[in-house]
Amino acid sequence: MYRDRGGVEKMKVRESFNSMFKIVDPNDKYKPAKIATFYHIIGQHLIKYPIKNNLGDIDMRFNFGLCVTSGLGKKAFSNVVEKSAKETNLKYCSITSLHEEQLIGKAWTVKNKEGEEKFKTVFGFFNKNFLIRDDALTLINSPKFEIARNYFLTALDIYGENTVTKKQVAEDSGLKYMPECSLLYFIQPSEKIETKNLSSGFFRRAPILRIELTDEEIDEIIDKRLVTEYIPEDSEWMKLLRNVRNVRIVKYNKIKKNILDKVNNVVKGYRSNYTLNKTLKITNQNNIIKFAYINNIIYKLSEGGIPGIPGIPNSIDVNVDIREEDADRAIEDFEKIYSAMQTFIRGNEKELTHPIDKEIVNLLTKEKCFSFDKSKYSSSDVLRIVSGQVGDSKENVKKRFYNLKKMGIIETKQMGSGKDTTSKVWLSN
């Protein structure tokens, strides 16, 4: 568990942020999405300061999709983004059309009374800061919107390398700019996304997190949603955003070797049988590093007394140097997000319908058993625990267990010999 030595203000900020969500959250099921929204909003405010690296810069945005049943919390997330955007005068809007002219904008020439031609431009959705797309299945799946998807891939590329253009017909002149937008989109758990569309790059730029609720958890939401006491929103979150908005220069100091080794070991520990996951290794590394830098920025801003830039009112000059606490927090946060990503990938590629299958996967997901090294359970542990949870015999659970192994959803490995033989179980990711 993460502990921040001396970073008390940072925890106040997170508590303040969580108070923004008007939602019943049984068993912290929405926590990964809340964490993703936290980095989504702060990263957008730092878009003009990508992390420089000889082998490719790291964009500060964290775009993502949320797979959640309609009516069970979707609005709470878009509301938090909208309120945060308004606090720092950033532009927020819902994407109502996927036509390329609506996304990018258009340019044209008109003649005035004197016959002189003047160039006119109107910018599209990409010229906003926070974009929300509800019911995004058509954007990701439909061949009709392949051009729109490609434009999104460009717009969400590293800031400075993401120029979009819209030329006038039969003319060289047109609209050309670098979008500063971040994207949050929603899909339904019942909707299936084609793997080829995810692996095209869209999922790397904006991974999908799935919030999977049990019937009992949905019942808890129903019982509490109209009687839960209202929690006033705290001002610490908004105060932080105003400070981040005033950051004009960010200097990213080199990461200490012991911290980088720790991050790399976590990333390399994510073994995978899913083709989609194998394309995410570098992205996972970038996201953890990005989160760690953001955590240090929050720490520095919360300390106060940071000098401004001469001649620029209200400006803040931040020298970023990742501490071990910042990296630990980033790893812990990312692992929660990663867990929700895996819930989506498994559900999208190999939908589980049997209740025993779901309990086995839920158990391993909850305890973050994503690799041999991270596994906390032996095969006998899983059979015993799940048998008790579902009220079925160990023999029936064992059949389902080996079926999941055959499907490539779980892996096992024996250790020891003779009477000391045991095994470890983990999700194939």
**Per DSSP, what are the bridge partners of residue 363?**
none
Q: Would you say the pTM of this structure is higher than 0.85?
A: no
- Return the minimum-mean-pLDDT range out of 7-11, 60-64, 208-212: 7-11
- Provide the H-helix boundaries in 214-280: 215-224, 236-245, 257-268, 275-278
Tell me phi and psi for residue 136, to 5 degrees: -85, 10
Q: Would you say 81 and 143 are in contact if contact means Cβ atoms under 8 Å apart?
A: no
Neighbours of 116 (CB within 10 A): 9
Q: What is the CATH architecture of 355-427?
A: Orthogonal Bundle (1.10)
User: How far is Cα 103 from Cα 41, in angstroms, rounded to an integer?
Assistant: 21
Alpha carbons within 13 angstroms on the beta-carbon side of residue 323 total 16
Confidence of residue 59 (pLDDT cuts 50, 70, 90): very high
pLDDT tens digits for range 398-417: 988 888 887 777 888 887 77
Tokens 């996951």 belong to which residue?
277
Tell me phi and psi for residue 387, to 5 degrees: -55, -40
Percent over 90 (pLDDT), the chain? 40
Predicted pLDDT of residue 132: 97
Confidence of residue 305 (pLDDT cuts 50, 70, 90): very low
Q: What is the mean pLDDT of the chain?
A: 84
Residue span(s) of the chain under CATH 3.40.50.300 come to 8-349
Predicted pLDDT of residue 429: 57
Does residue 303 carry a pLDDT above 70?
Answer: no
Structure tokens at 365: 């997901």
Q: Would you say 360 and 390 are in contact if contact means Cβ atoms under 8 Å apart?
A: no
Confidence of residue 259 (pLDDT cuts 50, 70, 90): very high
pLDDT tens digits for range 222-248: 888 887 665 666 688 998 999 898 887
Neighbours of 165 (CB within 10 A): 11
Closest to 133 measured CA to CA, from 179, 174, 185, 92: 185
Please give the C-alpha separations between residue 175 and each of 37, 151, 223, in angstroms, as whole numbers: 31, 14, 52
Confidence of residue 6 (pLDDT cuts 50, 70, 90): very low
Tokens 């983004």 belong to which residue?
81
Residue span(s) of the chain under CATH 1.10.10.10 come to 355-427
Closest to 322 measured CA to CA, from 7, 1, 77: 7
422-427 vs 208-210, strand pairing mode: unpaired
* pLDDT, average across residues 379-394: 89
Does residue 124 carry a pLDDT above 90?
Answer: yes
Task: Choose the CATH number for 8-349 among 3.20.20.70, 3.40.50.620, 3.40.50.300, 3.40.1280.10.
Answer: 3.40.50.300
Neighbours of 53 (CB within 10 A): 11
* pLDDT, average across residues 283-307: 84
